[in-house]
Structure 1
Amino acid sequence: MQRLLTLAASAVVLLGAVQTANAADYPTKAVTYIIPYNPGGESDVTARFQEGYFKDVAGQDVVIQYKPGAGGATAWAQLNGYEPDGYTIMNVNFPHAILQPSMKDVGYQTEDVKPAFVFHYTPDAILVRADSPYQTLQDLIDDAKANPGATTFSGSGTNSANHLATVRFDQMMGTKSTYIPFKGSAPSMAALLGGQVKAAMSYTTQGIKAGDQVRVLAIATEERVAAYPDVPTFKELGFDYVAGAYRGVTLPKDAPQEVRQKVSDIIGQINANPDFKKKLEENGYVVTDIPHDKVDQFIADRRAEYASAIEALKAAK
């Protein structure tokens, strides 16, 4: 028995040594990068941007695959079934990965999808048609206050970033609006352009795609963004609101810390590339640098930020 225990202990030590050696060499082959949405959305666009720089930094290709469903939950619920060797990484979004498990059983908990690096956010933005009577954010607020429930916002999905943003908008402004969910950003924008809703709770990126068909009333950033130098921030208008859809890269939770750190370092180096940063900013994204050792605090801060809106969503069910 003692000999068996000794052999078992030796095997564990040897396995640990092999894992450490593998981690030191990571990556030695192509890395699969899973996007939990359909092609063409913001998560896919930015992964494609990263793809062009990944090999320069890591020395290996990254292969993008798609696993859409349930607003990202289908993929995130399967994350920890992959080999935890770092050769499968996955896009993860917030507030989605906090909001979804808070509202119902979606097959994963927020702790299951802890990112190795959070690299940017897509700022919340309120969009109206170019011919809308709303010239300013205050025009929309005044109408929403005068006609409770009549101000309609389109958005991408239920219990999504757009849904949460609409609830937070009502809390900030003291209004009561009506949120109408659609299956993605594209149909949400189609509803706006088709006159089915008065406004869209969307992102800067969608405003850029729509061009002169829309007017952007306000953006949820600390400072004005390069893509919209003439559009005020919510903060400029007196509302302490900086928010959007944050995106990061995560690994199976049993991945060695050395590999997790390597992935963090790779994404951080891509983020630091001036050409990459310019590409993101021109397309309406805001670059963030939240590495592996700061992710826990990031998630704690987001939980606190979303708490009252999540309670309002639960109360409305």
Structure 2
Amino acid sequence: MRTNNFKYVFATISAAAIFSVSLNSSAESVENYPSKPMNYIIPFSAGGESDLAARFQQASFEKVAGVPAIIQYMAGAGGAAAWSQLNRMPGDGYTVMGINIPHTILQPLQKDVGYQTDDLTPVNYDHYTPDAIFVLADSQFETLNDLIDYAKKNPAMVTFSGSGSYSSNNIAQVRLDELAGVTTTYIPYNGTGPAITAVLGNQVVAGFNYASSGSNYGDKLRMLAIAAEERLPAYPEVPTFRELGIELVGGAYRGVAVPSSTPEKIKQKVSDIFSEISTDPEHKNKMEANGFVITNITYDKMDEFITARKKEYTAVAEKLGIVTQQ
């Protein structure tokens, strides 16, 4: 595993400021779009996977779109603070917002968060970060089978840290229990960083985090398996769950959404911009080197993609303890 040091220039901006910038944007033809910087809102705090992926996109944005992207932050309520306000922002094409699955499907099922899944208008899902199991580098568990054998002999004694309740990490732990015939205990933390810190501090037996975390901790951690369809270029030595006989593939999907009032042609144009960024070799190399998997799901394929994800995650909601209201 490699250690990557990233330096960010963080800028936090209030909702009011975002609205003010957007309100000054005037309508224009698709042919001239975009003609000025675009506001790219991240609905989480700086420093996580959503921010890192957006920074990689930002580096290629002006080359593709002809204008820069200005990254802004509107953190709160696991993303819901921003998503619940998106449709109140002007649909002029100059406001795009990061969007995540399973967050935007499971949050509204759990409680009133100010939006419903179908209220949101994603135009491109460009990547996902596969779930992965981490243990300390000197852990007694050298393989996934070691961990599963221990879990079978010691029900509920294997504790997994993960990035919050009802997250992709939580779903992966529930699925592992079902597929491997074990009972483990999931402990939610407030984000990827604290969840990995719990593993490093020996507060838990293992971590169910995102594969991208492997790029930041060098030889301190050992990755036992990755929930991807095939081995990742960043970690060629780490097997997939599927290779080990467990049909576990999944992670957090990330993309961008626009206000619902955005004209259809502009929605398509935004999708095209992010699609082209996804295929940019420089961007693709950076993403893959850090454990991200490019998906490039475009606007014309969005209904089919969201319908399939809703079916998938609604089915697992009950196992997560969510009593659906829909």
- Higher Cα Rg: structure 1 or 2? 1
User: Structure 2 matches for 1:163-182, cutoff 5 A?
Assistant: 163-182=170-189
Residue number in structure 2 paired with 1:110:
117
Is 1:77 the counterpart of 2:84? The answer is: yes
Q: Indicate yes or no: 2:232 matched with 1:225.
A: yes
Q: 1:272 aligns with which of 268, 279, 284?
A: 279
How far is 1:262 from its partner? Answer: 0.3
Deviation at 1:73, TM superposition (A): 1.0
Q: Work out whether 1:183 is the aligned partner of 2:190.
A: yes
**C-alpha contact 1:37 1:66 (8 A) present in aligned 2:** yes
**1:281 equivalent in structure 2:** 288
2:167 is aligned to: 160
Confirm or deny: 8 A CA contact 1:77 1:107 kept in the other structure: yes
- Please, what TM-score do these two structures have when normalized by structure 1? 0.91
Corresponding position of 1:290: 297
How many pairs does the alignment contain? Answer: 299
Counterpart position of 1:98: 105
Kept in 2, the 8 Å contact 1:114–1:295? The answer is no
- Once the two structures are aligned, what percentage of the paired residues are identical? 53
Q: Secondary structure at the match of 1:236?
A: helix
**Mapping for residues 195-274 of structure 1, pairs under 5 Å:** 195-274=202-281
* Contact 2:106/2:314 (<8 A) preserved: no
**More helix, by proportion:** 1
Q: Structure 1 residue 304: deviation in Å?
A: 2.5
Name the SS for the 1:186 alignment partner: helix
Shift of 1:274: 0.9
Note if contact 1:24-1:258 (Cα within 8 Å) is conserved in structure 2.
no
**Correspondence for 1:56:** 63
Tell me what 1:133 maps to.
140
In structure 1, what residue type is equivalent to 2:189?
A: F
Deviations 1:70-100 (A, max 9, x none): 1111111111110011111000011111111
Partner of 2:9: none
Superposition deviation, residue 56 in structure 1: 1.2
Query: Paired residue for 2:45?
Result: 38
Residue 316 of structure 1, CA deviation: 8.7
Q: Distance in 1 between matches of 2:232 and 2:303?
A: 27
Which residue identity does 1:83 align to in structure 2? P
TM-score by length of 2: 0.88
Query: Match for 2:158 among 151, 159, 165?
Result: 151
**Match for 2:108: what amino acid?**
P
Q: CA deviation at 1:159?
A: 1.7
- SS of the equivalent of 1:126 reads strand
Say whether the 8 Å CA contact 2:176–2:248 is kept in structure 1.
no
- Give 1:53 shift: 1.1
Whether the 8 Å contact between 1:71 and 1:160 is mirrored in structure 2 is no
Q: What letter corresponds to residue 78 of structure 1 in structure 2?
A: Q
Superposition RMSD on alpha carbons, in Å? 1.5
Q: How big is the shift at 1:315?
A: 5.8
Q: Does 1:314 align with 2:306?
A: no
